[in-house]
Amino acid sequence: MYTFLVILIIIASILLVLSVLAQSPKSGMAANFGASNQVMGVRQTANFLEKASWYLAIAIVVLSLLSTVAMSSYKKAGVPSGDAIIEQVMENAEQAPVMPNQVDAEVTVEE
């Protein structure tokens, strides 16, 4: 569940970036030519992109909250977290015998 939510967050983030980049700037030099943007339905496209940006931003916030809830449910279920896995690996490394360096041969360089 958590992985699925993270994938949805990544997809929504990419779509949000694309929708923001596709929008025309509202200020600056392009604002002087704003009247030409209302011809041939470009105004509706700008409205759609603005609404899409808001919906995607809200979706990212909601999905982030849901992923936090899903992550806490994993901890309650006994699924080890990243810290627990690292501690387990460190304990296993301390218990494993130390192997001596196996490379005893000299390296010769031919010119």
Burial annotation 86-96 (CB, 10 A radius, 16+ → b, else e): eeeeeeeeeee
Helices (H), the chain: 2-22, 42-77, 82-95
pLDDT reported for residue 90? 74
33-78 confidence digits (pLDDT tens) = 555 555 555 667 778 888 889 999 999 999 999 998 888 776 666 6
Token reading at 34:
């704003």
What are the residues whose beta carbons fall under 8 Å from the beta carbon of 18, sequence distance 6 or more?
none
pTM for the full model? Answer: 0.55
CB neighbours of residue 53 within 10 Å: 18
72-110 confidence digits (pLDDT tens) = 776 666 665 566 667 777 777 666 555 555 555 555 666
